A and B are shown apart, each in its own frame.
Chain A
Amino acid sequence: MSLSAQKIAELEAKATFIREDIITMLYQAGSGHSAGPLGMADIFTALYFHILRHNCKNPQWQDRDRLVLSNGHICPVLYATLAHAGYFPHHELLTLRKLGSRLQGHPHRGSLLGLETTSGPLGLGLSQSSGMALAGLRDEAKWRVVCLMSDAEQDCGNVWEAVLFAGKYKLHNLTALIDRNNIQIDGFTEDVMPLEPLKEKYEAFGWHVLEIDGHNFEAIIGSFEEAKAIFEKPTLIIAHTIPGKGVDFMENDFQWHGKPPDKEEARKALKELRSLQGKIQPGHHD
Chain B
Amino acid sequence: MINTKLNPKLFDEDMEMVSMREGFGEGLVMAGEENPQVVVLTADLEESTKVEAFAQKFPQRFVEVGVAEQNLAAVASGLAAVGKIPFMTSYAVFSPGRNWEQIRTTICYNNQSVKIIGSHAGLNVGADGATHQALEDVALMRVLPNMVVISPCDSLEAKKATLEIAKLKRPCYLRLLRDKTVVMTTKDTPFKIGQAEVFQEGQDVTVIACGQMVYQALLAARQLQESNISVRVINCSTIKPLDKKAILKAAEETGGIVTVEEHQAAGGLGSAVAEFLSGQYPIPVKIIGVEDKFGQSGEGAELLEKYGLTGKEIIKGILTVLRMKGKHFNG
Residues of A within 8 A of B (CB): 66, 68, 108-110, 116-121, 123-124, 127-136, 138, 157-158, 161-162, 164-165
- Which of A123, A124, A127, A162 counts the most chain B CB atoms within 10 A? A127
The answer to whether B105 touches A129, judged by C-beta atoms less than 8 angstroms apart, is no
In the complex, the answer to whether A134 meets B109 with C-beta atoms within 8 Å is no
The reply to whether A164 and B68 contact each other, CB–CB distance below 8 Å, is: yes
Complex Cα spacing A152 to B73, Å: 22
Tell me the B residues contacting A by CB distance below 8 Å.
Answer: 39, 60-61, 63, 65-66, 68, 70-71, 73-84, 86, 101-102, 105-106, 109-111
A134 near B68: Cβ-Cβ < 8 Å = no
Interface residue from B39, B61, B65, B105 paired with A124 (Cβ < 8 Å): B105
- Say yes or no: B79 contacts A135, CB within 8 Å: yes
Q: Are B83 and A135 in contact (CB under 8 A)?
A: yes
**Is B77 a contact partner of A128 (Cβ separation < 8 A)?**
yes
B96 to chain A, nearest CB (A): 15
Asked if A131 and B74 sit within 8 Å, CB to CB, the answer is: yes
Q: A121-B105, A161-B71, A162-B74 are in contact. Are A131 and B111 (CB under 8 A)?
A: no
Residues of A within 8 A of B79 (CB): 131-132, 134-135
Whole-angstrom distance from the CB of A28 to the nearest CB of chain B? 25
Taking a contact as CB atoms under 8 Å apart, the answer to whether B74 and A128 are in contact is yes
Are the C-beta atoms of A158 and B75 separated by less than 8 Å?
Answer: no
Q: How far is the CA of A90 from the CA of B286 in the complex (A)?
A: 57
Q: Nearest Cβ distance between residue A7 and chain B, in whole angstroms?
A: 31
B73, B75, B86, B105: the one contacting A130 at CB < 8 Å is B75
Which residues of chain B are within 8 angstroms of A116 by Cβ–Cβ distance?
Answer: 81
| Shortest Cβ-Cβ A-B pairs, 6 listed | A131-B78, A127-B74, A161-B71, A128-B78, A161-B68, A131-B75
| B110 CB to nearest chain A CB (Å) | 5
Minimum CB–CB distance for A181 against chain B, Å: 24
- Judge whether A158 and B78 touch: CB under 8 Å: no
Q: Please state if A134 and B60 are interface contacts (CB–CB under 8 Å).
A: no
A229 to B313, CA, bound (A): 67
The answer to whether A117 touches B110 (Cβ under 8 A) is yes
Q: B105 and A162: CB pair below 8 A?
A: no
**Of all chain A residues, which has the CB nearest B75?**
A131
24 contacts between A and B (CB under 8 A): A108-B109, A116-B81, A117-B110, A118-B105, A121-B105, A123-B70, A124-B74, A124-B106, A127-B70, A127-B71, A127-B102, A128-B74, A130-B75, A131-B74, A131-B80, A132-B82, A134-B78, A135-B39, A135-B79, A157-B70, A158-B74, A158-B102, A162-B75, A164-B71
Which residues on the B side are within 8 Å of A131 (C-beta)? 74-82, 86
How many angstroms between the C-alpha atoms of A212 and B66 in the bound complex? 32
Nearest neighbor of B64 in chain A, beta-carbon distance: A168
Shortest A59–chain B CB gap in Å is: 13
Cβ of B105: which chain A residues have Cβ within 8 Å of it?
118-121, 124
A66, A119, A158, A164: the one within 8 Å of B82 (CB): A66
Contacts of B65 in A (CB 8 A): 161, 165
State in angstroms the CA–CA spacing of A110 and B111 once bound together: 8
Residues of B within 8 A of A117 (CB): 77-78, 81, 106, 110
